[in-house]
Structures are given as structure tokens and as C-alpha cells.
């Protein structure tokens, strides 16, 4: 009997979203068991479909329905590039040429260091082996100069989520930034006591339903501040220009997966480290607060996928490092990505401000303070030894000395407002959340709605939308994660969620972080 296709085989083709992996596996093994395909032939058909989903989506064939799902993602700006392994499954007539071992390698082919750079790991006992292996590969790149792994780390594509990588100042790695460029946290603190939440729960819940928009195709009509769309960078490249109209329509909306907008209570604590100057500038106590998590929507995803694919063409690396391909910032394509990434950062911030302004207006208040930060981005920084570098934080919060940030938990766990302590070992970074214990497919296969509802009831959480892949049980214990990074951040405040809004279950898509 022909060997069946495994999940590892499927994910070797490229960055297949979690929510599509079961479908890929089902189709592949259906071909093997019922259509009597060899494993090699089934994998080859899937590789061809990924290379040209439109062709397979609009013709009658054995993978039509799956191809339609991939084509729909392409239409939303999410392209799944074939890995080096995936390319090798293509028939010879459609595959790019593969050099024989004796032929001279092209100039853009690179090997890895024989000895990886040493790197710091925080909360190692909480981190899966796959994430450690990915980080080991990342610090073996010839352009890598330093690395660190945060306690919420888990396996992703290229750099693990929770990974921090400093590279040569002329190189940027799109997959070390991530698909959701400038995924971001934003917190507004209001001059209202917790009693307001108990007194006006319907108003707060109604405001979330009416003033937020979630989902892959989510668009908003009403805008408060459109000034981000007037930035000159929108005319910088054809890729950006072609995405501008869609970006405008999605301004002020949120994505799917782990994106949320929620009302809750912020408790500002007494000073944790009295010798450190604090930047929150609010007296200790409890306040009504609004917390949001989302990124640069379809615009950022399109920039990420376009230039990740280009990087993999421009920089050939060994199989295990293929998704860590870089762009040279001295080249046209490197500059195009850098401009697009930074514009995605401005756009992501504007998205949050739209949401917060609308909800503040709904309760007729102005915030006393606002805290926000990216956690999927690349910055020009200096290492402690003075070297100029590009620091990639993929699912990691900037934590330079005095820098404010937000580390959320889950829908039933607290989040934390933190102040960076400038730890050089962590490359001035901290975790970006609790970190996942289960993949999305594991969550759907393992958890029940009754378990989920019980957890919400016990925590006193009202939830609008959401699905099992974001149930609180899929996340690590946030307090354990915070304890593992006490040398990286000081905790200024705790956020306790109460009314949570997420994408509806039928609007879900695969997300990496």
C-alpha cells in the first residue's frame, strides 16, 4: 500500500495556514487512497495548485475546491509561496531549473554558519523544541549578528513567533517580520471607575458591536481621521499604489485570528522598581480601559507576501532556512519593502486610533492616556557593542529602557502594561503575549464549546464572536510568562478583560501569531 501523506509533508510545501492544513491532508490522502496516486504524484499536484491556484480553481479537477480556497486568499493579498521543497515536487516542465551537484551555484546562493551564534532564551522550559530549532537556524544565517527568544515563543514560519533577530544593517528578512506587518497593541485609559462597566454593560457591548468591524473582507464606511491616506509613501511603488484603495476601505477595521477589541479594567500599581522613572504618569488605582490588537490588514499581508516571495527568489538558502531569505536594503526591492513595511506601521497605528476614537465617542469620553506598540516589525537599532543592525521582532515587544508596551494574556487572562528595562541580552525586547500551547487545528480537534463556555462563565467574560482556536485553554499561563522576563520589563499596570469582541466564527482565517 502506498505511504500516506503526513502533516509534515503538507507543511513542507510552504506556509500552509493552520485552518487549511486538514483540508490539504484530506485531499492528498484521498488522491492516494481513492485515486491511486503515488505520494509523490499527490504532492506534485498540490504543489502545482499552490503555484497556480487560479488555473485549478476555475477548471474541473481533483483539487478544485481546495484551489478555490487558496485563490480566495490570493484575492485578499495572501499568497502562499512554495518552499524549496515544494518547488522540487513540481513536474520538470513547470519547475524552475535545479542545478546538478557539480554545477556552479549562482551568486545568490548562501550556506549557513558551521557554528550558530549563541543567543539568550527566556523561559526555556515553556518553549517547544520546534521554536528552539527554528531560532538555531536563524542565528546560523551569514547575515545574523545576534538573537534572543522570548518566553511566549512557539513555532512559525522562518523566525519563530517570539523570536528576535539582529542582522547586518543592510539586510531585512520579510518572514522575520511576519505576514501581519506591524501587528499592534493599543490601550486607552479613561477617567471612569470600574463601576461604570457594571452600570453600563449594554452600552459598552453595543459600542463594540456597532463601532468595530472584523474579518477578512471587513471594511468601514465612516472614518474619523483619514490623514494617514495622505502620506506621500502611498505613491512610492506600484505595489503600494495598487493597494491604496483597499487599504482606505479597510481603515479602522480589525482582522481575524487573535485580533480583538475589548473593554476591561486597568489597575495601575505602585512602583515596582522605585529607582526607575515611570512613564505612565497616572496615579495608582482602577480605571475603565479599552484594549485592541490588530495590524495592517490586507495591505500589510500583500506587502509581506509579495516581498517574501521575492526574497526567496533573490536569496537561495538551504531547505531549513528557506523562509529566512533576506532582501538587500541597497537594492530597489529592498527599499520597496522597507518603505512598504514602514507605511504598514503608520497604517496599523491609524487603524487602532480610528477604533479607539469611535469607541471613546460612543461613551462620550476622552482618554487620560494611550499606550501602543508594534510587535511584528523591523527597526534600525544599535547593539550594546555599538554595531548598527536591523532588529526583527516577530511577535516580540520593544523593551528598551523606559519604553512602554503592552503584553496581553487571553480572553480570560490579564494583560500587562510594561516598561522596558533595556536588557541587552534580550536585544531590548520582551514577549508579545502569553504564547500558544495549541495550534488552531489542535484547538478545534481537542476542545469543546462547553469547556470554552465554562471558562468564560467562570471568568465573568462577555464574548461577542470568537471561536475555539482562541479559547483561553490554547494559551500558556501569562503570569508564568511574565515571571520569566522580570529582568526585561517592569510591570506598571494590569488589564482585566470583561467584554471581548473578536471576528465571528464564520469569518476566520489562518494566522501565524
Q: Taking a C-beta distance cutoff of 8 angstroms, is the pair 344, 182 a contact?
A: yes
Q: Is 410 within any annotated ligand binding site?
A: yes
Task: Tally the residues of the chain.
Answer: 513
Name the percent of the chain in helix, strand, coil, to the closest 5.
40, 20, 40
Gap between the Cα atoms of 256 and 45, Å rounded: 29
- What is the rounded distance in angstroms from the CA atom of residue 477 to the CA atom of residue 454? 18
Ligand-binding site membership of 170 (annotated): no
CA distance 128 to 121: 12
Q: How far apart are the first and last CA of the chain?
A: 38
Q: Is 217 annotated as a binding residue?
A: no
74 annotated ligand-binding residue? no
> How far is C-alpha 186 from the chain's CA centre?
15
Residue 47 CA neighbour count, 13 Å, CB half? 23
- Tell whether residue 261 is among the known ligand binding residues: yes
The annotation status of 259 as a binding-site residue, yes or no, is: yes
Residue 41 C-alpha from the chain's centroid: 33
Each residue of 360-395: b (16+ CB within 10 Å) or e?
beebebebebebbbbbbbbbebeeeeeeebbbbbbb
In sequence order, which residues have a C-beta less than 8 Å from that of residue 68 and are 6 or more positions away? 53, 57
Is 487 annotated as contributing to ligand binding?
no
**Enclosing H/E stretch for 312:** helix 297-314
| CA atoms of 35 and 2, how far apart (whole Å) | 12
258 is in an annotated binding site: yes
Residue with cell 449594554: 202
The answer to whether 433 is annotated as binding is yes
Which residue out of 154, 352, 356, 432 is catalytically annotated?
Answer: 432
Residue 411 marked in a binding site: yes
432 catalytic? Reply is: yes
Nearest CA to 66 out of 22, 97, 105, 11 is that of: 22
Give the CA distances from residue 253 to residues 182, 214, 223, 353, 408, in Å, rounded to whole numbers and listed in that order. Answer: 14, 6, 10, 11, 20
Q: CA torsion sign, 461 to 467 to 470 to 473?
A: positive
Element (H, E) at 372: strand 369-374
Q: What angle do CA 399, 168, 490 make, to 5 degrees?
A: 10
Computed from CA positions of residues 121, 127, 129, 133, in that sequence, does the dihedral angle turn out positive or negative?
negative
510 carries a ligand binding annotation = no
Residue 435 labeled ligand binder: yes
Q: What is the DSSP string of 195-255?
A: HHHHH-HHHHHHHHHHH---STT---S--S--GGGG-GGGGS-HHHHHHHHHHHHHTT---
Residue 415 annotated in ligand binding: no
> Known binder of ligand: residue 154?
no
Provide the 8-state DSSP code for 142: T
Residues annotated catalytic, as ranges: 432
Q: Which residue ranges make up the annotated binding site for GMP?
A: 258-262, 375-376, 408-411, 432-435
In the annotated binding site for Mn(2+), the residues are 180, 259, 293, 375
**Residues of the binding site:** 180, 258-262, 293, 375-376, 408-411, 432-435
Amino acid at each position: 500500500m502506498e505511504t500516506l501523506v503526513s502533516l509534515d509533508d503538507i507543511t513542507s510545501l510552504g506556509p500552509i495556514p493552520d485552518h487549511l492544513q486538514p483540508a490539504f491532508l484530506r485531499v492528498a490522502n484521498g488522491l492516494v487512497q481513492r485515486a491511486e496516486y503515488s505520494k509523490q504524484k499527490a504532492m506534485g499536484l498540490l504543489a502545482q495548485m499552490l503555484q497556480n491556484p487560479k488555473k485549478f480553481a476555475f477548471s474541473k479537477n481533483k483539487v478544485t475546491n481546495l484551489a478555490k480556497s487558496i485563490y480566495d486568499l490570493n484575492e485578499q493579498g495572501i499568497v502562499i509561496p512554495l518552499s524549496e521543497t515544494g518547488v522540487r515536487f513540481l513536474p520538470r516542465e513547470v519547475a524552475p531549473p535545479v542545478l546538478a551537484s557539480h554545477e556552479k551555484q549562482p551568486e545568490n546562493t548562501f550556506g549557513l554558519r558551521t557554528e550558530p551564534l549563541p543567543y539568550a532564551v527566556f523561559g526555556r522550559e515553556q518553549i517547544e523544541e520546534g521554536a528552539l530549532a527554528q531560532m538555531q537556524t536563524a542565528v546560523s544565517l551569514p547575515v545574523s549578528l545576534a538573537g534572543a527568544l522570548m518566553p511566549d515563543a512557539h513555532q512559525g514560519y522562518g523566525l519563530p513567533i517570539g523570536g528576535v533577530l539582529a542582522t547586518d544593517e543592510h539586510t531585512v528578512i520579510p518572514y522575520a517580520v511576519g505576514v501581519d506587518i506591524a501587528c499592534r497593541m493599543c490601550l486607552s485609559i479613561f477617567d471612569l471607575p470600574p463601576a461604570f462597566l457594571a452600570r453600563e454593560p449594554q452600552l459598552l457591548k453595543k459600542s463594540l458591536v456597532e463601532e468595530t468591524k472584523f474579518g477578512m473582507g471587513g471594511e468601514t464606511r465612516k472614518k474619523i481621521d483619514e490623514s494617514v491616506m495622505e502620506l506621500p509613501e502611498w505613491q512610492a511603488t506600484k505595489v503600494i499604489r495598487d493597494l491604496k484603495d483597499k487599504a482606505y476601505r479597510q481603515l479602522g477595521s480589525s482582522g481575524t485570528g487573535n485580533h480583538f477589541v475589548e473593554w476591561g479594567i486597568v489597575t495601575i500599581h505602585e512602583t515596582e522598581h522605585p529607582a526607575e522613572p515611570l512613564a505612565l504618569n497616572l496615579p495608582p488605582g482602577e480605571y475603565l480601559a479599552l484594549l485592541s490588537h490588530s495590524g495592517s490588514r490586507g495591505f500589510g499581508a500583500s506587502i509581506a507576501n509579495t516581498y517574501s516571495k521575492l526574497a526567496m527568489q533573490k536569496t537561495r538558502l538551504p531547505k531549513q532556512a528557506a523562509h529566512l531569505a533576506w532582501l538587500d536594503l541597497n537594492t530597489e526591492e529592498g527599499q520597496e519593502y522597507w518603505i512598504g513595511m514602514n507605511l504598514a506601521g503608520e497604517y496599523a497605528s491609524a487603524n487602532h486610533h480610528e477604533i479607539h476614537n469611535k469607541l471613546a465617542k460612543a461613551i462620550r469620553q476622552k482618554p487620560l492616556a494611550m499606550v501602543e506598540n508594534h510587535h511584528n516589525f523591523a527597526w534600525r537599532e544599535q547593539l550594546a557593542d555599538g554595531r548598527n543592525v536591523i532588529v526583527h521582532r516577530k511577535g516580540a515587544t520593544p523593551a528598551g529602557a523606559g519604553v512602554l508596551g503592552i503584553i496581553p494574556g487571553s480572553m480570560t487572562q490579564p494583560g500587562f502594561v510594561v516598561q522596558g528595562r533595556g536588557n541587552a541580552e534580550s536585544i531590548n525586547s520582551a514577549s508579545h503575549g502569553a504564547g500558544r500551547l495549541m495550534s488552531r487545528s489542535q484547538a478545534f480537534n481537542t476542545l469543546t464549546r462547553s469547556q470554552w463556555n465554562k471558562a468564560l462563565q467562570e471568568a465573568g467574560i462577555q464574548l461577542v464572536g470568537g471561536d475555539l482556536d482562541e479559547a483561553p485553554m490554547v494559551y500558556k499561563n501569562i503570569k508564568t510568562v511574565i515571571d520569566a522576563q522580570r529582568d526585561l520589563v517592569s510591570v506598571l499596570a494590569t488589564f482585566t478583560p470583561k467584554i471581548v469582541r473578536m471576528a465571528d466564527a464564520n469569518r476566520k482565517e489562518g494566522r501565524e501569531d
